[in-house]
Amino acid sequence: MKPWNVEICDVTLRDGEQTPGVSFSCEEKVDIARTLDRIGIEVIEAGFPAVSENEKKCVKTIAGLGLDSRICGFARAKKEDIATAIDCGVDMVSIFIPTSDLHVRVKFKKPRENVLEDALAMIDFARDQGVAVRFAAEDASRTDAAFLKEVYGKAADHGAVLLSFADTVGCLIPDEMRTIMTDLVSSVDRPFCAHCHNDMGCAVANTITAAQAGAFQLHTTVNGIGERSGNASLEEVLVILRTKGGIDRYDLSHLTALSRKVEKYSGIALPKNKPVTGELAFSHESGIHIAAILEDPATYEYFLPDMVGSERHFILGKHTGRKALEHVLSSLGENLSETQVCRVLDLVKEHSEQKCNITPEILRKLIRQAQREVSS
Ligand SMILES: CC(=O)SCCNC(=O)CCNC(=O)[C@H](O)C(C)(C)COP(=O)(O)OP(=O)(O)OC[C@H]1O[C@@H](n2cnc3c(N)ncnc32)[C@H](O)[C@@H]1OP(=O)(O)O
Ligand SMILES: O=C(O)CCC(=O)C(=O)O
């Protein structure tokens, strides 16, 4: 199978940091950027340098690390923002303007054609400084289709090397994304980016659908953090690129550590059942599942924990079966008779039904109780 023709631009350090309450220190940003680089992420959006002096300093530091990843700085269509980003030594400036009638009316109070003219002048300004320009249409998914094509066509004519399609409020479903992206890709001869928000839980699905429809650069954030309900999760997108897109160039073994790092630095707790990196992503309790996994993990794991730097866990509880319990007992070096194992199993279920977690200490107590009650 021919691998999908895509690259990743991870925007954790810019859009991810826009999660309310999140502010990464410069050291944390550097640490995240280095790990993204190790994974093989092609582009890192390091920040929005006009936001503050400290932000500018961090972006400059990341741009100076000599990473293999290309470094991108975010900017409004304003000379000051663009000059500040270029001053950081970034490889690419991402210049954004809102394109929907709603955003143009609320933010600029002038005709959209004038907003576009101003933005094109800013693309010229950045291009003339010798930096690569990505042009991003904010709220593209709610923009009049004909105007959006005109915007992208003109941005390409002015030298933008990438055109970003932002589903800013996460209002699309995959079918709509497929139709729109297919149309854009066939209308404007420039690589497109898919920047998807997760307001209806479709960010990853929309990103993958955009890739299948011809988008080249996929925007992600670690743990899917970002404005409101966040962005497309890096971990999920990368696993899909590996399992469905035929792409094996990313080193996914760093994903779990990176995810935990961003959880700590952002203060945004991972849902336990978060795909790929959540605590329960490779945890199993059901007896029927564990009995089969002991024979072959592929029965209940579509991809294995090693691939993403994680581990498998067997949890004891109400749904435990005998084979699972025997496996746990033997890994603890406990040698029980068949009737004692049955008694432990009953005790495990009873405790669990009283909402008591079966920790290793509790399990040892239950084993001793069974040994007292049932002679071997
Ligand atoms: C979809 C997105 O993620 S967009 C990015 C959102 N990110 C952020 O807002 C980053 C954090 N923001 C900040 O630190 C501040 O808002 C700053 C430094 C960017 C700007 O601060 P201020 O100058 O105080 O402006 P403020 O935030 O009050 O208002 C936004 C201004 O930017 C203008 N603006 C918004 N988007 C754009 C754009 N793409 N191009 C040009 N101007 C823009 C607005 O019209 C408004 O202009 P006005 O001050 O002339 O009315
Ligand atoms: O498309 C982009 O690259 C950025 C735009 C953005 O952050 C958004 O609209 O949510």
Average pLDDT on 247-272 reads: 98
Average pLDDT over residues 162-173: 98
Q: What is the pLDDT of residue 47?
A: 98
Ligand nearest to the CA of 50: 1
User: What are the start and end residues of each CATH 3.20.20.70 domain in the chain?
Assistant: 7-266
Mean pLDDT, rounded, for 14-25: 98
Query: Average of pLDDT values for 192-204?
Result: 99
Question: What does pTM read for this prediction?
Answer: 0.97
> To test ligand 2's pocket by mutation, which of 13, 139, 195 has the most ligand atoms within 8 angstroms of CB?
195
Q: Which atom of ligand 1 is nearest to the CA of 97?
A: 39
How far, CA to CA in Å, does 15 sit from each of 49, 229, 340?
13, 12, 56
Confidence class for position 82, pLDDT limits 50, 70, 90 = very high
The number of the ligand 1 atom at minimal distance from the alpha carbon of 77 is: 40
pLDDT digits (tens, 9 = 90+) for 267-290: 999 999 999 999 999 999 999 999
Distance CA 331, CA 352 (A): 21
pLDDT at 376: 65
Tens digits of per-residue pLDDT, 315-374?
999 999 999 999 999 999 999 999 999 999 999 999 999 999 999 999 999 999 999 999
Distances (CA, A) of 353 to 272, 341, 365: 20, 18, 17
Distance 251 CA to ligand 1 centre (A): 36
The finding on whether 51 has its CB within 6 A of some atom of ligand 1 is: yes
Return mean pLDDT, the chain: 98
Atom of ligand 1 nearest to the CA of 139: 1
**What is the assigned CATH class of domain 7-266?**
alpha beta
Residue located nearest, by CA, to atom 46 of ligand 1: 107
Indicate the pLDDT class of residue 375, thresholds 50, 70 and 90.
confident
Distance in angstroms (rounded) separating the CA atoms of residues 36 and 44: 8
Ligand 1 and 57: CB distance under 6 A: no
pLDDT-above-90 percentage for the chain: 99
pLDDT attached to residue 53: 98
Question: What integer is the mean pLDDT of 304-324?
Answer: 98
168 CB within 6 A, ligand 2: yes
Q: What percent of the chain has pLDDT over 70?
A: 100
Task: Show Cβ contacts of residue 163 under 8 Å, excluding neighbours closer than 6 positions.
Answer: 134, 135, 136, 137, 152, 155, 156, 184, 188, 190, 191, 192, 193
Asked whether the ipTM of the predicted complex exceeds the cut of 0.90, the reply is: yes
Helix H or strand E encompassing 60: helix 53-63
Give the model's pLDDT for residue 1. 81
166 within ligand 2 shell (Cβ under 6 A): yes
CB 15 near ligand 2, within 6 Å: yes
